[in-house]
Amino acid sequence: MKIGFIGTGVMGTGIINNLLKSDHQVTVYNRTAAKAEPVIANGAVWADTPAEVAQAADITFTMVGYPKDVEDVWTRKDGLFSGAKTGHILVDMTTSTPKLAEKLAQRGKNLGFKVLDAPVSGGDIGAKNGTLSIMVGGDEAVFDQVLPILKDVGQQIVHAGSAGKGQHMKMSNNIGVAATVITMAESMVYAKAAGLNMDDAYNVWRHGAAGSWSVTNYMPRVMAGDFSAGFYAKHLLKDLRIALDAANEMAIDLPGTKLAEKLFAQLSENHADEGVQAIVKLWSAFQ
């Protein structure tokens, strides 16, 4: 399959490498060309613009940083919409806003394209290992067309409903991510203050009722002093703000999410480009 992929960051790189391993022809573009070098070394082909990516592919994926970046690579003069052919499938894997997903789906339909929103969960580990959870919004028939490719990069793949529903599903998921990361951090702070053995605490938590993906995957990184980003703190902050905006539109109150937004805003003042596990740095014991 001829696949286009825009965005060769932490997540995109892992996904592209798995597509290449599955013998797809992958054409890529990234705003910073140097960040595409690892996947090009593995067999991906560079294109100079998003439009050229679409011209070389039958299905094109995007995974960029923020909603404004999504809108830019899709709608600018040399963007996806200008290079795609009638019937082309366009899939945004960025965690973005439900409203933008709906807007792009409608515009794509008007132009003769098929559009899905398909944000993912699983971090850099899931992207590297091909074990992502993928939440898809859009027409179910188009979902069925793309499903074999999604299986090359993910394990848990859900059709969440119409356009924008994939993003809503991801917001629901990331509300939980924020909560588990924060409770992991507080548990570690308490254990350290009490003089507990952290390896023992880790094994108790991950095998007991306090277990979570965050405990299993992030706690060892904290213990090793590894705060590199598998999931950027600044990106979780962005997601929490999207979730709170959507919650406001739906007239629901999410007090825990408001607290998480406040804490990650504080963290992002100095640690925006570190991983979400850096939340422990809000406590002096881990500074």
125-159 pLDDT per residue, tens: 999 999 999 999 999 999 999 999 999 999 999 99
Model confidence pTM above 0.85: yes
| pLDDT computed for residue 163 by the predictor | 98
Please give the average per-residue pLDDT across 177-198, as a whole number: 96
Is the pLDDT at 285 greater than 90? The verdict is no
The stretch 250-267 carries a mean pLDDT of 98
Residue 9 in this model has a pLDDT that exceeds 90: yes
Are the CB atoms for 4 and 14 separated by under 8 Å? no
pLDDT for res 287:
79
CA-nearest of 22, 21, 93, 85 to 53 is 85
Decide if domain 2-161 falls under CATH 1.10.1040.10.
Answer: no
Q: Which residues of 12-29 are buried (b: 16+ CB within 10 A; e: fewer)?
A: bbbbbbbbbebebbbbbb
CA nearest to 198, candidates 227, 224, 217: 224
Q: What ranges make up the beta strands (E) of the chain?
A: 2-6, 25-29, 45-46, 59-62, 89-92, 114-117, 120-121, 132-137, 154-161
- How far is Cα of residue 123 from the mean position of the Cα atoms in its chain? 7
**Strand partners for 2:** 25
Q: What is the pLDDT of residue 129?
A: 96
Round the CA-based radius of gyration of the chain to a whole number and report it: 19
Question: Any residues with CB less than 8 A from the CB of 59 and at least 6 apart, and which?
Answer: 1, 2, 3, 4, 88, 89, 90, 91, 146, 149
pLDDT of residue 169: 98
CA angle 79/84/90 to nearest 5° reads 85
The mean pLDDT of the chain is 97
Write out the CATH class of domain 168-286.
mainly alpha
| Secondary structure element (H or E) that encloses residue 69, with its range | helix 67-75
> Does residue 238 have an active-site annotation?
no
pLDDT of residue 284: 86
Percentage above 90 pLDDT, the chain: 97
pLDDT of res. 92: 98
Nearest Cα to Cα of residue 258 among 247, 250, 267: 247
Cα separation, 221 vs 227, whole angstroms? 7
Give kind and range of the element (H or E) at residue 36: none
**Considering 114, 128, 165, 170, which one is annotated as catalytic?**
170
Q: Indicate the DSSP class of residue 284.
A: G
pLDDT above 90: residue 270: yes
Residue 32 pLDDT greater than 90, yes or no: yes
Domain spans of the chain?
2-161, 168-286
* Position 286 confidence tier, pLDDT thresholds 50, 70, 90: confident
The tokens of 272 are what? 């925006």
